[in-house]
Structure 1
């Protein structure tokens, strides 16, 4: 059972994370400062180091927090999906975009420009950081097993090294995906991140598209075509936001 001291420490860590999120949104990841966090926490700067040892540790905390929030959002949306894996891939894309537009600073930390001098510790961030792609790969596996994806007519021959990489991914996910679908799955993932980033970071320009949600539906349609989704199984566009 947690002691009062344990509860107090947990509350302080929660407060530090919340302050870190506010600073991330206001000033950006590169400008994060433990001294500023300590000021907002109402303690001397040396006291905050009892909880967070460095700016890099705070960044890691914020990364895990962001990946966890995104993963929870995606999993909740998929749990409400009736079951068609192609439709669920659309839900995944829409949910990613919706979360990113609502949390642009956190999205930018996860998928934007790397913070100079910071290297995320894989042993701490991989589990939370791969939840989105794990969900996507499982849906691709379900769609393939259901016969909802068509193999392209011409598939380039992969090198021995690349085939070994594909085999390692198959083993990691425990899914019998063919090489072509793993390769195109990476294109789907990169395309989703690219489309969402272009929207969140306003790469189009303010007046280029009147309805970016409608544009995103066309982008989703094209990206699902990359992995072989049958055109007659694609859902009617749904307005997803801005």
Structure 2
């Protein structure tokens, strides 16, 4: 048999090469901008410094990202997606019926990613960047972690798991009215005590991790793993002890 030789259509190889080169430079620009988060912070992110770092003129960087805000948006999307993937994978690895186990996995994955990426975490959960308004394309990635927690709440409500102690007062009509958007986000008409328990757990988790990463536990908390394990158990809205 003779040798079969295939050839690309004219222009295909060069088009593919350009796409690969563009993808490589896009990744390099994002990596450089992400590195800046740890040195100057997002508010001082400099396209000129990024261009210098990757060996391009500033005008060339703008062919990939039309503005500094576009670059910030790309960083937000990338970091939110990474964080969301880590939390989703942790939750999916636990028996769906084990709500407390899923909560613990979510909490530890949330913190684990934050400890590995402190400056990225600061971009996501720290002070807003002056003058920057996140566009709609960030909403999906930004809510990935929240959706995991909402999924736990929906499952708890469906299973009739009590999330409030008998002596706890009902949240009240003002709270119910204020949570309209959150119930819509959950895609279910969750009871107020379920919503409140979820918000309390979420607030405690973000607050605890933020305190740790921003240095507010220094000289106060020694064994951070023991501290976080205890915090996670205390915040657990699905613990049977809550109904005691």
Question: 2:163–2:193: 8 Å Cα contact kept in structure 1?
Answer: no
TM-score by length of 2: 0.86
Which stretches in structure 1 are left out of the alignment for 5+ residues? 234-242
TM-score by length of 1: 0.86
Question: 2:84–2:145: 8 Å Cα contact kept in structure 1?
Answer: yes
Aligned to 1:12: 25
Question: 2:154–2:186: 8 Å Cα contact kept in structure 1?
Answer: no
Q: Residue 106 of structure 2 is aligned with which of 92, 96, 106?
A: 92
2:92 corresponds to 1:102:
no
Over alpha carbons, which structure has the higher Rg? 2
Paired with 1:72 and 1:218, the residues of 2 have a C-alpha distance of 25
2:62 corresponds to 1:49:
yes
Question: 2:171–2:192: 8 Å Cα contact kept in structure 1?
Answer: no
Question: 2:46–2:68: 8 Å Cα contact kept in structure 1?
Answer: yes
- Deviation of 1:20 after TM superposition, in Å, equals 1.1
Aligned to 1:230: 240
Paired with 1:149 and 1:94, the residues of 2 have a C-alpha distance of 23
Question: 1:86–1:148: 8 Å Cα contact kept in structure 2?
Answer: no
- Higher mean alpha-carbon deviation, 66-75 vs 24-33, is at 24-33
Which stretches in structure 2 are left out of the alignment for 5+ residues? 1-11
Instruction: Spell out, residue by residue over 1:189-218, the C-alpha distance to the aligned partner (whole angstroms, 9 max, x if none).
Output: 11110000001111122x211111111122
Instruction: Spell out, residue by residue over 1:165-207, the C-alpha distance to the aligned partner (whole angstroms, 9 max, x if none).
Output: 43443333223421221123122211110000001111122x2
- Deviation of 1:115 after TM superposition, in Å, equals 1.6
Matches within 5 A, 1:1-242: 3-83=16-96, 84-121=98-135, 123-153=136-166, 154-159=169-174, 162-205=175-218, 207-224=219-236, 227=237, 229-231=239-241
- Deviation of 1:228 after TM superposition, in Å, equals 5.3
Give the count of matched residue pairs: 227
Computed over aligned residues only, the root mean square deviation of the Cα atoms, in angstroms, reads 2.0
Taking a change above 3 Å as real, the CA distance of residues 150 and 124 of structure 1, as seen in their structure-2 partners, is closer
SS in 2 for 1:98: helix
Question: 2:90–2:105: 8 Å Cα contact kept in structure 1?
Answer: yes
